[in-house]
Amino acid sequence: MKRMSFKGRGMRKKFIPLIVLVTVLICGCGTPEKELSGGSVFAFDTYMTLSYDTYSEESFEDIKREIGCLEETFSVTKDTSEIARLNKEKRINASSDVVVLFSKAIAASERTGGAFDITSYPYVKAWGFSTGEETVPREDELKELSAFVGYSKISVDGNKVSLSDDASVDLGGIAKGYLGDVLADKLVKEGCESGILSLGGNIRVIGKKTNGSLWRIGIRDPRDREKLLGVVEVEDTNVITSGGYERYFTDEAGNEYWHIIDPFTGKPANNGIISVTVIGRDGAMCDALSTGLFVMGEERAKEIYKSSDDFEMIIAMKDGRILVSEEISKAFTKDGYQRGRIEVVSGQG
């Protein structure tokens, strides 16, 4: 089995293009502006870079403490985390972060008809995505695991969170989005008016750039990580991408398997979508939707967009088409080298 990308190596690759990307886009416009200072940290299994106008060493230490604290709470692989404890004991008195995040995860499951489902963890584990030891599980193994999957097995009652039927959860599809919300709120409360938080595939921007113009965020081409699909101009929002290219492996026959699992089959979602970018104010919800829409496929993703008013989307298809939702289409510019057609997805009539 040839492993194309695994944690340590894949992460470093992820780090360099992100820094380059953000730098290029920040410097890439004519008007001089105040350089934002910032720092980097490795957490949540990825490199994170945070630059903001109120940066100081002291404030960054504080931010790092906050990130460390949430990682200690949400990590599925750290034995002592609240989530590891929940997976073991099936019932815990949860912290407010876990209660809020679970409520959002359940809401996202309901919106996506179960395409986003944190109880997919047994499948994620069987494919080896949580440990970096990727393998193709047997059909009968996946069938057995299906008894443990389904978001109706989660209940939240006050601060009591419990899992029935031996279910277990993994917050990999939503935790970084929530982290972006927490950090942005904290910085804004402390007086920050301009900042960009790059949290491994998730971008949270605060306000506008220091020269008053919009942030220009590059969206990676899922077929070639050195290239761009295009650039989107935004302010005060999240730009969150889920792509098959983020973590995948290839078997001897050349089949690619990625880490976004269809909870109804137990297998990597494979419906013609190769990346989904969701743009909106609620980072946790946008993160969950990026994973959920990837699983739902083109038609259902369009339907959910039509019945929602809290997010915009940019979806790259295997056949080269780029689906761009109506509102954000005005702010999206396709990269020159992209040959595929843009299809604008209209919203509520």
Shortest CB 288 distance to Mg ion, Å: 6
* Interface with Mg ion, residue 180, by CB under 5 A: no
Q: In what order do the strands lie in the sheet with 46-52?
A: 37-43, 46-52, 195-199, 202-206, 238-243, 273-280, 312-317, 322-325, 342-345
108 vs 345 by CB, closer to ligand ADP: 108
Shortest CB 127 distance to ligand ADP, Å: 9
| Cα distance between residue 18 and residue 71, in whole Å | 21
| Cα distance between residue 333 and residue 349, in whole Å | 24
How far is the CA of 302 from the CAs of 108, 296, 298, 323, 344, in angstroms? 16, 10, 6, 9, 10
* Interface with ligand ADP, residue 237, by CB under 6 A: no
Number of chain positions touching Mg ion (CB under 5 A): 5
Which span sits near Mg ion by CB under 5 A: 63-71, 146-154, 159-167, 235-243? 235-243
Number of chain positions touching ligand ADP (CB under 6 A): 21
73 vs 291 by CB, closer to ligand ADP: 291
* Partner whose binding site includes residue 260, from Mg ion, ligand ADP, none (CB under 5 to 8 Å by kind): ligand ADP
* Interface with ligand ADP, residue 129, by CB under 6 A: yes
| Cα distance between residue 86 and residue 92, in whole Å | 6
* Interface with Mg ion, residue 290, by CB under 5 A: yes
CA-based nearest residue to 321, from 300, 342, 338: 342
312-334 b/e with 16+ CB inside 10 Å = b?
A: bbbbbbeeeebbbbebbbebbeb
53 vs 134 by CB, closer to ligand ADP: 134
Angle formed by the axes of helices 96-111 and 283-296, nearest 10°: 30
* Partner whose binding site includes residue 127, from Mg ion, ligand ADP, none (CB under 5 to 8 Å by kind): none
| Residues 175-204 interacting with ligand ADP (rule: CB under 6 A) | 176, 201
How far is the CA of 81 from the CAs of 32, 95, 147, 280, in angstroms? 45, 11, 25, 29
264-300 b/e with 16+ CB inside 10 Å = b?
A: bebebbbbebbbbbbbbebbbbbbbbbbbbbbbbbeb
* Interface with Mg ion, residue 221, by CB under 5 A: no
Q: Which of 116, 127, 151, 311 binds ligand ADP (CB under 6 A)?
A: 116
| Cα distance between residue 240 and residue 276, in whole Å | 8
Which span sits near Mg ion by CB under 5 A: 229-237, 244-252, 285-293, 337-345? 285-293
| Residues 241-280 interacting with ligand ADP (rule: CB under 6 A) | 242, 246, 259-261, 263
**DSSP H or E stretch at residue 248:** strand 248-250
Q: If DSSP codes are grouped into helix, strand and coil, which group holds residue 135?
A: coil
CA-based nearest residue to 247, from 197, 289, 201, 279: 201
Which span sits near ligand ADP by CB under 6 A: 12-20, 135-143, 152-160, 289-297? 289-297
* Interface with Mg ion, residue 287, by CB under 5 A: yes
Q: What does the block give as tokens for 287?
A: 């993160």
Length of the chain: 349
Using Cβ positions, the residue closest to Mg ion within the complex turns out to be 291
* Interface with Mg ion, residue 134, by CB under 5 A: no
Which span sits near ligand ADP by CB under 6 A: 16-24, 50-58, 78-86, 113-121? 113-121
* Partner whose binding site includes residue 120, from Mg ion, ligand ADP, none (CB under 5 to 8 Å by kind): ligand ADP
Q: What does the block give as tokens for 24?
A: 């290029």
* Interface with ligand ADP, residue 295, by CB under 6 A: yes
In a 13 Å sphere around the CA of 148, the CA atoms on its Cβ side amount to 22
* Partner whose binding site includes residue 129, from Mg ion, ligand ADP, none (CB under 5 to 8 Å by kind): ligand ADP
Residues that bind ligand ADP (CB under 6 A): 116-118, 120, 124, 129, 170, 172-173, 176, 201, 242, 246, 259-261, 263, 287, 290-291, 295
Residues that bind Mg ion (CB under 5 A): 173, 242, 287, 290-291
